[in-house]
A = this chain, B = another copy of it.
């Protein structure tokens, strides 16, 4: 790499200066200056602008991160040009050759187009033209793709989604070589390739195009971007507002079980309107937002440049840029997104879509210097106007750390459908999910949470059951265990009643309801609390969960206090799992372990859990310590002696080894109506296998005790091993900041204003 950089950059610089050194243009990079004056007939105009190209050319050779990104792309595309164009007749699913090749082609075309603009070297334009002409040649003859699995088949690919991906990229390439082509060439391409292509993914595939879904977003953007290049108002309007006068059956479902078009909305603006909350939370969660982000942002760039009057980046109070901030905040210390809903673990802000997001957000937003530090970690910028702005920011030393703090993100297009709260203190991160269903990718996990410490999972959210693009595992598609396990309530750190999932595991029911915020408070860094209520997951049962990240000077690190108050008009069995990792160290209860392992149940995910141990709580507090990755953890939870404790492990009824063999401790409380689960999770100490020394390996909690539990208040007394006592009182009702509260506990009066009391 280093050698390559050394050798290539001077060449680039030389090339560029030979070409441009005689010109004396305005060399300032001026983010956003030209938006109001953009001339829509100029090319390029989507992600690059004529002025932007001038600026880039002027700065080349003096903007290291841009120069390096350019050098990498140039090397890649030069190799592609050298190896020649491949244009196979489509026949494979994803994973197969024809799929992979046409996918590769779309990236190559986009990059070659950009190189032509930046380096002004005709070989790139010619290459783009040649490949486009070959596409024009075959597209005319193509029937529907021969593979039949999709609800909306494409022509180049097995699904319209991928055809749309193609057009989103290729329209950029076309934009870059537009002026290089003759009018005759353009007419040929537009009439035989681009317009029929746009029609196929829209008017010919309304079940794909005419809805609010990340798939349609790609479709809308594809149609809109080619419309912008071709200056075709009809296509642009079809992109923005959907297919005119078309209404679909609102009851039909797609392959994933989601409604095809629940409320008849469609088009790019509806796709911004619906899935994003006013805080920028995307209803399917960060993993899918990352996927959807690219078409949102590149089409928005194009609209910003060509149709500034639309003020797309100000649409819905600037939600597109807010959503990028939300997305970045939904990542752990390593930049990996919290795997809410069907999220694959490991996806992070190093993904190329996030390069787009960060650069666009910086350029079209407020030039937040924190974004520059992420761009620097990404070590890559876009080869466009926004990438130039970022490169200049970094070059000029404007970078600052991107500080993720606690954040509460509302869900729902109007922000009233629950949300996701992230509480952060020191290295501890609590992700508390009280969001709505999350479309067809949602899990039945109301009021669930996951806990991280410095990027490591302490209590995990399982994520999805899928090995994306690993052909050996079901072709890389969703595995059946995604439905039978990963979506089920028992797969999550939340309450299960009578071994059934929330909303009976039914999408139709789940998508009608959502939890409600009780309060969110992060003003006092040492006592941050999120509290929310769910009333529809189980008929007749209410769950109110209050989670606090508390930093008490008597403890080494912040700890998590978890209060789940259950109120029911029926007698039930409640299961309350903790999905820890690592090695059991110690318990304060006796348990027996069976000689043979049997599944815990028969359905709703229970069929996937083996029981490795069973015991009963022996005191008012049950304690469980474990060790993982050289750190210690302790759960202390309030119990009664009828409570059962089960050690479980995922992996039963899993004949193809699709699931990870991860453990949990499950607290089971039978024959209960109203009850409150109160627990503290501590992370503490460390172990070094090098010095073989264990530091602070034991819990600092002596006892936790519920000293009041009424409709209005729940009060927990926390006693440290040094006998220091603290009292936490949460307001179960009337929790807004202004309200004054007064309660008497054991004859002592407590008064406070606001959501909670802690002293």
Contacts and interface: CB of A to CB of B under 8 A. Distances in A.
A509 interface: no
A654 interface: yes
A692 B347 CA distance: 8
A595 B653 contact: yes
A649 interface: yes
A592 B655 contact: yes
B657 A583 contact: yes
Contacts of A692: 344, 347, 468-469
A649 B661 contact: yes
A663 B691 CA distance: 29
Contacts of A612: 651, 657
A19 interface: no
| Secondary structure call for the A interface | loop
Given A472-B625, A697-B472, A689 B345 contact: yes
A523 interface: no
Interface stretch (A176-184, A276-284, A348-356): A348-356
A67 B470 CA distance: 52
A407 interface: no
Contacts of A690: 346-348, 350-351
Given A347-B689, A595-B599, A689-B346, A585 B470 contact: yes
A596 interface: yes
Given A468-B692, A692-B469, A597 B610 contact: yes
A694 interface: yes
B586 A472 contact: yes
B585 A472 contact: yes
Contacts of A657: 583-584, 612-613, 647
A348 B647 CA distance: 33
Interface string A68-108: 00000000000000000000000000000000000000000
A652 interface: yes
A508 B472 CA distance: 49
A660 interface: yes
A364 to B, nearest CB: 24
Given A470-B687, A689-B346, A694-B470, A596 B593 contact: no
A219 B275 CA distance: 72
Contact of A694 (B471, B585, B698): B471
A473 interface: yes
A595 B655 CA distance: 9
Copies in the complex: 2
Most central of A583, A610, A630, A693 by chain B CB within 10 Å: A583
A163 to B, nearest CB: 19
Nearest to A597: B597
A627 interface: yes
A697 B470 contact: yes
B596 A352 contact: no
Given A584-B657, A657-B583, A689-B347, A652 B592 contact: no
A656 interface: yes
A690 B337 CA distance: 10
A663 B597 CA distance: 16
Interface in A273-326: none
A598 interface: yes
Nearest to A346: B689
Most central of A470, A613, A649, A651 by chain B CB within 10 Å: A470
Most central of A345, A652, A656, A692 by chain B CB within 10 Å: A692
B627 A470 contact: yes
B351 A691 contact: yes
A537 B627 CA distance: 37
Contacts of A597: 596-597, 610
Most central of A350, A467, A653 by chain B CB within 10 Å: A467
Interface in A650-672: 651-657, 660-661, 663
A467 B586 CA distance: 13
B471 A697 contact: yes
Most central of A469, A471, A610 by chain B CB within 10 Å: A469
A651 B647 CA distance: 13
A558 to B, nearest CB: 23
Given A347-B690, A599-B595, A689-B345, A583 B660 contact: yes
Interface in A344-402: 344-348, 350-352
Given A585-B473, A586-B472, A697-B472, A352 B691 contact: yes
A671 to B, nearest CB: 27
A587 to B, nearest CB: 9
A627 B471 CA distance: 12
A587 B344 CA distance: 24
A417 B597 CA distance: 43
Interface string A464-500: 0001111111000000000000000000000000000
A593 B655 contact: yes
A545 B667 CA distance: 50
A466 to B, nearest CB: 10
A473 B596 CA distance: 24
Contacts of A647: 657
Nearest to A660: B583
Nearest to A585: B472
Contacts of A698: 472
Contacts of A344: 689, 692
Interface string A215-249: 00000000000000000000000000000000000
A586 B656 CA distance: 9
Given A595-B652, A595-B653, A689-B346, A694 B661 contact: no
Given A597-B596, A657-B584, A469 B693 contact: yes
A631 to B, nearest CB: 12
A107 to B, nearest CB: 11
Given A351-B691, A593-B655, 10 more contacts: A344-B689, A344-B692, A347-B689, A470-B697, A595-B652, A595-B653, A596-B597, A612-B657, A649-B661, A661-B663
9 cross-chain pairs, A with B, having the tightest CB-CB distances, nearest first: A346-B689, A584-B657, A597-B597, A472-B586, A472-B585, A593-B655, A468-B692, A596-B598, A596-B596
22 contacts: A344-B692, A346-B630, A346-B690, A347-B689, A347-B690, A348-B690, A350-B690, A467-B627, A469-B692, A470-B585, A472-B585, A472-B586, A472-B698, A473-B585, A583-B660, A595-B598, A595-B653, A596-B599, A597-B597, A597-B610, A613-B655, A647-B657
